[in-house]
Amino acid sequence: MELQDTREIDEREEEQPQPTLPPTDTGHQAYLLLAGCFIINVLIWGFAFSFGVLQEYYTSHEPFASQRAGIATIGTVATGLMYLLMPIYFSALQRWPRLKRISTWASLPIVAGSLVGASFAQTVGQLIATQGVLFAIGGNLLFAPTVTYLDEWFLRRKGLAIGIMWAGDGAGGVVMPLVLQELLARYGFRTTLRAVAVAMVVLMAPLLAFVKPRLPIPAASAQRRIDVSFLRSPLFWVLQTFNVVQGTGYFLPSNYLPTYAQSLGLSSRLGSLTLVLVNLAAMLGCILVGALVDRMEITKVLVGISIAATTSILLVWGFSNSFAVLSIFALLYGASAGAYSTAWTGMIKDIRRGSMTADANVIFGFLAAGRGLGATVSGPLSEALIAGGTALHDDDRFAYGSEYGTLIIFSGCTALVGGFSWVVRRLGLI
């Protein structure tokens, strides 16, 4: 993510006493900040992206099994709302930068309260309000400031640093499903959610000592004008359109993999393992794509990601009928589609070439909101696709011959459209 260009940072540094500033891109303070961002993503986004495990539990256990309609919406509201709220968060932090420290500390009780509140839920609506809406609000209060700090600490290797930060999502998605599966099997969802709430506070509170700005906030910057000139750029809207479409289908495979695995007769643990593999591959994919966007033209990266993701969905998941094939799909899909948001770095770099005064954090927030819009729509849409799904293949041994056939086609098509900016650029339209 090209959150600020080098020239802007240099201008800001000229206003500060140079000897007092720690170095960028290197040194223990920069690495500690990056480690803190990584672990925060492990906990916040890793939990959100592991919803497939909880969805499988909610749909098969009371008091929610008899209220199946709306369960898929819990996870997509949590992830979707976190993305959707980012323009508001980043704009507020740019205008009032002193709010950053307040925001990070305020996040912990809200995140914990959302999970504790969800543990007392009796209806799906209560889960949507707590585990969905409230968790998203608290999670963003912590995530948004860390992104702005990463902007200050990394310049030359910003893409790689952002890739490592996003890799925390995948790492959390590796650990969280296994932890959740074990806790749910032993103690049920109420104790599980309370235990996760306590663990998040205990693990994240010490990190806040290292998650701090590199540059002091001068008194004159108490309020800053929010520049949204990039909204007049055709390039932004082309990239945003395909970003929204990709987000509409991105979360569906991960949310439904554990449930689909059980429809094949596999155990719930093997179903959870497919989600682990998706996130493990996403962790590696984010680091690789983060390095690529520092070196390659962004639409080439996007079309490569999209073709790989589409191939994995339509040719592997669609013809899957065993854990081995599902595992191959999970690895391919995680490594490709799971790294799409890391490519926002390159998108922001291109957009800012035509809007140099625009704040890159705000652009990031709008791109995130685009994915959030797609994610929020995907919850009820996926339930409609499953409910109205028909077999697309006569042989019911494969996924195309199940109720998931329509959902697979939809996910594959949205993944492909995510790379269409390459076509638009080749036609000379942007």
Q: What is the per-residue pLDDT for 429?
A: 83
Cβ(79)–Cβ(376) below 8 Å: no
pLDDT at 298 over 90: yes
Cβ(204)–Cβ(306) below 8 Å: no
Cβ(36)–Cβ(51) below 8 Å: no
User: Cα–Cα distances in Å, from 146 out to 175, 290, 305?
Assistant: 22, 17, 26
Placement of tokens 């509170």 in the chain: 205
397-424 pLDDT, tens digit per residue, is 688 888 888 899 999 999 999 999 999 9
At 404, give phi and psi (nearest 5°): -90, 0
Mean pLDDT of 124-145: 92
313-326 pLDDT, tens digit per residue, is 999 999 998 899 99
Alpha-carbon span 32 to 216, nearest angstrom: 18
The single-letter DSSP state of residue 403 is T
pLDDT at 425 over 80: yes
With b for 16 or more beta-carbon neighbours within 10 A and e for fewer, the 125-156 pattern comes to ebbbbbbbebbbbbbbbbbbbbbbbbbbbbbe
- Token pair in block for residue 289: 């794509």
The residues spanned by each domain of the chain are 21-426
Lowest mean pLDDT among 150-164, 174-188, 387-401: 387-401
**How many C-beta atoms surround the C-beta of residue 353 within 10 A?**
11
Percent of the chain with pLDDT over 70: 91
Q: What is the per-residue pLDDT for 391?
A: 53
| DSSP letters for 144-196 | HHHHHHHHHH-STTHHHHHHHHHHHHHHHHHHHHHHHHHHHHHHHHHHHHHHH
Cβ(77)–Cβ(136) below 8 Å: yes
Alpha-carbon span 162 to 25, nearest angstrom: 12
239-266 pLDDT, tens digit per residue, is 999 999 999 999 888 888 888 888 888 8
User: Cα–Cα distances in Å, from 281 out to 275, 293, 320?
Assistant: 10, 18, 19
| DSSP letters for 255-285 | HHHHHHHHHTT--HHHHHHHHHHHHHHHHHH
Topology at the third CATH level for domain 21-426: Growth Hormone; Chain: A; (1.20.1250)
| DSSP letters for 99-134 | HHHHHHHHHHHHHHHHHHHHHT--SHHHHIIIIIII
pLDDT at 13 over 70: no
pLDDT at 158 over 90: no
pLDDT at 384 over 90: no
Q: What is the per-residue pLDDT for 218?
A: 58
- Token pair in block for residue 224: 């800053």
Length of the chain measured in residues: 430
- Token pair in block for residue 78: 């949590």
At 69, give phi and psi (nearest 5°): -60, 125
Alpha-carbon span 12 to 252, nearest angstrom: 43
pLDDT at 1 over 70: no
The predicted model scores a pTM of: 0.78
- CB-based contacts of 165, cutoff 8 Å, min separation 6: 34, 37, 38, 41, 146, 147, 150
pLDDT at 219 over 70: no
Cβ(59)–Cβ(65) below 8 Å: yes
Closest C-alpha to 110, from 192, 174, 44: 44
pLDDT at 291 over 50: yes
- CB-based contacts of 281, cutoff 8 Å, min separation 6: 170, 330, 331, 332, 333, 334, 335, 338
| Residue type (1 letter), 248 | T
The separation between CA 20 and the C-alpha centre of its own chain, rounded to angstroms, equals 35
